[in-house]
Amino acid sequence: MPKESLNFPKADILVIDDTPENLNLLSAMLTEQGYKVRSVTKGSTGLRGANAVPPDLILLDVNMPEMNGYEVCQHLKANDRTREIPVIFISALGDVLDKVKAFAVGGVDYITKPFQLEEVLARIENHLTIWKLQQQLQAQNERLQQEIHERTKAEEKFAKVFRSSPNPIAIATVSEARFIDVNPSFLKMSGYCLEEVIGDTAAELNLGKNTVAIAQTIQLLPETGSLYNLEFEFSTKSGEFKTILISLELLDLAGVPCALLIANDITERKRLENEFISLVSHELRTPLTSTMGALDLLGSGQLGTLNQQGQKVLSIATTNTERLIRLVNDILDLERMKSGKIFTRKAKCNAADLLITATEAMQAMADKLQVGLIINPVSVELWADSDRLLQTLTNLLSNAIKFSEPGDSVWISAILSESKGVESEENQPSSSNHLLITIQDEGRGIPEDKLQIIFERFQQVDASDSRNKGGTGLGLAICRDIIQQHDGKIWVQSILGKGSTFYVLLPLPASQ
């Protein structure tokens, strides 16, 4: 017995023939070759069997009493369940086989008796192969139709969202950052009409203060992947400035890499936020300072000695008041920096001195949390506001220490950056006359989608950070403003669970 018949039959064949000798002969021959054979002597029985369990192929005698082969075939082709099954007609040598009719009623081939084993097998296999291929093709076709249908539906949905979205949306090419489509909300926000925008870049339209950075961000999108909520000063056609947040997604339009830019106009929100923040901060500062004075007085014992419980309550009140004062001061600092009311007082200072002073200031905190502080300073002259830079370095060190575990280390190092090797956030190699300060920790790390946003006001990776770690979520926003006022750059790289490295890149005075 051939191997296949031991496992799976090659195919299921139904033989319909009123001559038992023929049936037996065909059945034995095909079973021997590994086919599963069902044989019946009547057309009506064959039709019932085929309908109940459709076979892969039917061998059908032409001349049968009651219902001849042509009629059986017509019934098979009229039934959805059996229509596709290939039918091969069998005719005896003396029979008149109407070949035209055989094909007309849906037969795919015919065999004449007496049977030639090889010929019968070859024809059966041939038609089984054709049938299988047809099935595959049909399945593939159905899959493709389904895909086309789904794609069309998705495109329709996208087009609907694009047109009717209240958010301004633009699509630009990655290669040149040229607009290829914008939605009505974008036109409303910008004041331009569609024809003025299509084909132009943000820089050509003068859409804001930092159009070059936007173009670079679009061009780097294939490397960086999606970006969220980048703040951008947008300039309308009439010259009005708006603050918008842009999120970027990579899009493939007929093989052309494009950027989908979704904007969120936060001008009004910012204005209200600023107004509210400055009002609250100013209103809070005076009473908080006097509360702190009162708490100091209580702690000094001049108004009587507190018992242990009283000391504990006083200590909680002092910690919380200090935190509030820090928060208010940070907010006012930021507000003043944003509105240009704080001028940096730049003077000659030494980078090594700054690093050493910052490390000394943070040593007590590091000791308390059992974190090692390792310093690699470089002696180089800076033209900077040393108080403000110190504020930046201590804030970065404080974050590195507080997000580390006991036994971890924090490194603060500085190097003179070479023209190659140092890559800033925007992957622009910096020129050689820069100082690169790195603060590296082996703490909990920062998730990739938070690497940019933590430099925004009140942004913390974990909402419980301010409670558990005592921060305000303003430190990095202040650092970024200070560094920008020194024409420098600040950014972070991090691996979750492994640690973070904050980079501060500062220009050196021209003579160095």
Q: Is residue 394 near ligand ADP by the rule CB under 6 A?
A: no
| Residue 289 CB, nearest approach to ligand ADP (Å) | 21
Q: Is residue 483 near ligand ADP by the rule CB under 6 A?
A: no
- Do 440 and 356 touch, CB atoms closer than 8 A? no
Query: How far is C-alpha 255 from the chain's CA centre?
Result: 19
Picking from 238, 233, 239, 226, the residue whose alpha carbon sits closest to that of residue 265 is: 233
Provide the pairing of β-strand 372-376 with 409-417: parallel
User: Which of the stretches 39-47, 71-79, 186-194, 394-402 binds ligand ADP when contact is defined by CB under 6 A?
Assistant: 394-402
Q: Is residue 454 near ligand ADP by the rule CB under 6 A?
A: yes
| Residue 447 CB, nearest approach to ligand ADP (Å) | 9
C-alpha distance from residue 489 to each of 200, 370, 427, 492, 493 (Å) = 29, 30, 12, 10, 13
Q: Is residue 393 near ligand ADP by the rule CB under 6 A?
A: no
Which residue's CB is nearer to ligand ADP, number 353 or number 456?
Answer: 456
Picking from 206, 164, 215, 158, the residue whose alpha carbon sits closest to that of residue 186 is: 164
Q: Is residue 355 near ligand ADP by the rule CB under 6 A?
A: no
Which residue's CB is nearer to ligand ADP, number 296 or number 405?
Answer: 405
Q: Is residue 446 near ligand ADP by the rule CB under 6 A?
A: yes
Q: Is residue 371 near ligand ADP by the rule CB under 6 A?
A: no
Which residues lie across from 253 on neighbouring strands? 256
C-alpha distance from residue 326 to each of 111, 185, 320, 360, 392 (Å) = 97, 41, 10, 21, 15
3-state helix, strand, coil in the chain (%, to 5): 45, 25, 30
Q: Is residue 473 near ligand ADP by the rule CB under 6 A?
A: yes
Cα–Cα dist 50/47, whole Å: 5
Provide the pairing of β-strand 57-61 with 12-16: parallel
| Residue 140 CB, nearest approach to ligand ADP (Å) | 51
Q: Is residue 465 near ligand ADP by the rule CB under 6 A?
A: yes
Q: Is residue 460 near ligand ADP by the rule CB under 6 A?
A: yes
Structure tokens at 417: 């950056």
User: Which of the stretches 18-26, 115-123, 151-159, 443-451 binds ligand ADP when contact is defined by CB under 6 A?
Assistant: 443-451
* Residue in 333, 441, 442, 481 binding ligand ADP, rule: CB under 6 A: 441
C-alpha distance from residue 384 to each of 152, 439, 479, 509 (Å) = 58, 19, 14, 10
* Residue in 403, 442, 483, 490 binding ligand ADP, rule: CB under 6 A: 403
Footprint on residues 191-210 left by ligand ADP (CB under 6 A): none
Three-state secondary structure call for residue 127? helix
| Residue 262 CB, nearest approach to ligand ADP (Å) | 25
* Residue in 105, 400, 422, 490 binding ligand ADP, rule: CB under 6 A: 400
Which residue's CB is nearer to ligand ADP, number 260 or number 477?
Answer: 477
Mention every residue, 6+ apart, whose C-beta is less than 8 A from residue 399: 471, 475, 476, 502
Picking from 29, 9, 12, the residue whose alpha carbon sits closest to that of residue 111 is: 29
Which residue's CB is nearer to ligand ADP, number 267 or number 501?
Answer: 501
| Residue 332 CB, nearest approach to ligand ADP (Å) | 15
| Residue 495 CB, nearest approach to ligand ADP (Å) | 11
User: Which of the stretches 150-158, 178-186, 237-245, 457-465 binds ligand ADP when contact is defined by CB under 6 A?
Assistant: 457-465
Q: Is residue 443 near ligand ADP by the rule CB under 6 A?
A: yes
Which residue's CB is nearer to ligand ADP, number 71 or number 465?
Answer: 465
Q: Is residue 392 near ligand ADP by the rule CB under 6 A?
A: no
- Do 123 and 109 touch, CB atoms closer than 8 A? yes
DSSP state of 51: H
In a 13 Å sphere around the CA of 53, the CA atoms on its Cβ side amount to 7
User: Which of the stretches 3-11, 214-222, 422-430, 455-463 binds ligand ADP when contact is defined by CB under 6 A?
Assistant: 455-463
Which residue's CB is nearer to ligand ADP, number 323 or number 336?
Answer: 323
Q: DSSP states of 389-441 as a string?
A: HHHHHHHHHHHHHHTSPTT-EEEEEEEEEPSSS-B-TT-PBPPSSEEEEEEEE
Task: By CB under 6 A, name the binding residues for ligand ADP.
Answer: 395, 399-400, 403, 441, 443-444, 446, 454, 459-462, 465-466, 471-477, 500
